[in-house]
Structure 1
Amino acid sequence: MDHLPDSEWPLTQSFSSETTGNTMCLILFAIDQHPDLPLVVAANRDEFYERPTEAMHWWSAPEILAGRDSRSGGTWLAITRDGSVAAVTNVRDGRPEAGERSRGSLPIAALERKTGDLKRELDTSHAQFAGYNLVRANGQRGWYYSNRDSHPGRTLFRGAYGLSNHLLQSPWPKLVRLRHSLVQHMRGTPVADLHDALIEALMDTTPAPDGFLPDTGVGLERERFLSAPFIRSEHYGTRATTIVSVHRNGEIQVTEQNWRARGEAGPRQTFRWIRPS
């Protein structure tokens, strides 16, 4: 979507910081869909540009690679040394509550806890968080949980998945289009070029036609504004694009492209390491 004039900014100005803070807004991931890459993740994080954020870096406790939200101390996407990835999105359902706890703690918990313990903890804390989706994946399987799902806690096996601000695999236009793009790039793009190709794919600013917009309780104008995979404006938009690839030979590569207001490219950094044996 092109830059919104200041007169249109109230469309997003009414978002609370907790409604948007600490969450990805688009996550694509493929489990066992490539002969050399058992896991590929591609994600956009949308947020107010003024919200203070630390770029992706290695944390000491826990030992994860992640960006950090300076306001709440949490993160939106994190990777472990062995190539497990966890990320969170908010659920956009028009409910105004902020939640007692920040959703930025959820990816960290997902990487620290066993599935059974994590599910029990999440089952008893629904009301403490605003709506969220949490996904964890490695090269063998994934796990998905939402406190807006009627049957939360699902194991995911090989396949290509998409997640935005509704439940997993909801057929929102940007998810359908970008999930297809992910699969096509994994089939036809050389591994060495995959990160660059996926970053370019996630820069798609095409809004969805009105007839295909979801109704999440935020009004038509905001639905239009948020319907593009890559959002840019003066005050709110895509802040970071993150690509993760886990290779069968043990190599893990992570690229983070940061974005400034109006979609101006900021710093890009790449991390590479070999999974501990």
Structure 2
Amino acid sequence: MCLIVFDWQPGQPCWLRMAANRDEFHRRPTAPLQPWQDNPAIVAGRDLEQGGTWLGASHQGRIAALTNVRAPGAGPQQPLSRGLLASRWLGGHGSAETFVSELIDNAGEYAPFNLLIGDQQQLLYVTNYPKPHWQVVSPGVHTMSNAALNTPWPKTRLASKQILQLDQCSAQTLAHLLDRRQPWPDQELPATGVPPEWERMLSAQFIVSPAYGTRCSTGLVATEQSITLHEISWNAAGEQQASNEQQLALLKRDNHADSGG
């Protein structure tokens, strides 16, 4: 997942709206948004290479979203799968604070990542680059791409404007939100250590190229009663291949859960 924008409004009837594009190599095997056979409480797409996910929700009201940090050469030589961090939270039962406190201790075992986890009460952001760090996410609109939370890249600044222009919206509308396919002018591009042609290509909100690009777009709307996710799958030409919507009825929160996820 390489571009996420979300509007976090705790205590409101609609407490979270999110739009996200997952960018990945087209050859990497992927399962679409669906309940997981080995844990039906989780609804998410799935990376079939490592078994984790980039974005999902659970019937317990948990949400998780993940991006990599673009830092060539950083991280261990044989990193653990970052996608398993998201799925571990979604399938867990403990508090977010316990989860991230335990994660910080071994965060260096993963390639650079950004992870957003939480539920109706609280959202937390955790990263391991340039060093392990976590924070409580404040209410309002935030962006997460391949740098730290709210880094003002051109495509994240546009994403903030796009979501603020939506008044009432559906998960399907959000799935179509991050739709700019044009790269930004070279003078506006960040310098993240990749070749200039890649920097240019990756600057688009929606990436189209034969080998690597936007594989799916997801919209999420969370209310007091349910979480709705709408996923659109794309091919290498940027053409829609499928769409899928899942609604999760939320179970009552277990106020006694206090162990790690």
| TM-score of the superposed pair, with normalisation by structure 1 | 0.83
1:4-51 CA-partner distances (Å, limit 9, x unpaired):
xxxxxxxxxxxxxxxxxxxx1011111118964111111110111111
Whether contact under 8 Å (2:176, 2:217) holds in the other structure is: no
The counterpart of 1:104, out of the listed 72, 79, 83, is: 83
Other-structure match for 1:11:
none
Gaps in structure 2 of 5+ consecutive residues: 253-261
1:127-154 CA-partner distances (Å, limit 9, x unpaired):
2111000111333331000001546110
Distance (whole Å) between structure 1 residues aligned to residue 110 and residue 208 of structure 2: 27
Whichever residue aligns with residue 241 of structure 1, its letter is: S
Other-structure match for 1:4:
none
CA 1:140–1:117: 2 relative to 1, 3 Å: closer
After superposition, residues 1-277 of structure 1 pair within 5 angstroms as: 24-32=1-9, 36-62=13-39, 63-95=41-73, 99-111=78-90, 112=92, 113-150=94-131, 152-185=133-166, 187=167, 190-191=168-169, 194-248=170-224, 250-277=225-252
Q: Counting strand residues as a fraction of each chain, which structure ranks higher?
A: 2
CA 1:38–1:219: 2 relative to 1, 3 Å: same
Q: Counting helix residues as a fraction of each chain, which structure ranks higher?
A: 1
Whether contact under 8 Å (2:96, 2:118) holds in the other structure is: no
Whether contact under 8 Å (2:173, 2:219) holds in the other structure is: no
Distance (whole Å) between structure 2 residues aligned to residue 60 and residue 117 of structure 1: 27
CA 1:268–1:224: 2 relative to 1, 3 Å: same
Offset of residue 94 of structure 1: 1.8
1:198-244 CA-partner distances (Å, limit 9, x unpaired):
23321211212211111110021111010001001112110011111
1:36-72 CA-partner distances (Å, limit 9, x unpaired):
4111111110111111111111124442101111111
CA 1:273–1:77: 2 relative to 1, 3 Å: closer
Helix, strand or coil: the match of 1:38? strand
Distance (whole Å) between structure 2 residues aligned to residue 84 and residue 150 of structure 1: 26
Offset of residue 175 of structure 1: 0.5
Identity %: 35
Offset of residue 117 of structure 1: 2.8
Whether contact under 8 Å (2:61, 2:119) holds in the other structure is: yes
Whether contact under 8 Å (2:216, 2:231) holds in the other structure is: yes
Whether contact under 8 Å (1:33, 1:159) holds in the other structure is: no
Whether contact under 8 Å (2:174, 2:218) holds in the other structure is: no
Offset of residue 126 of structure 1: 2.6
Helix, strand or coil: the match of 2:129? coil
Distance (whole Å) between structure 1 residues aligned to residue 80 and residue 124 of structure 2: 22
Distance (whole Å) between structure 2 residues aligned to residue 151 and residue 71 of structure 1: 26
| TM-score of the superposed pair, with normalisation by structure 2 | 0.88
| RMSD after superposition | 2.0
Gaps in structure 1 of 5+ consecutive residues: 1-23
Helix, strand or coil: the match of 2:155? helix
Distance (whole Å) between structure 1 residues aligned to residue 216 and residue 245 of structure 2: 13
Offset of residue 87 of structure 1: 1.3
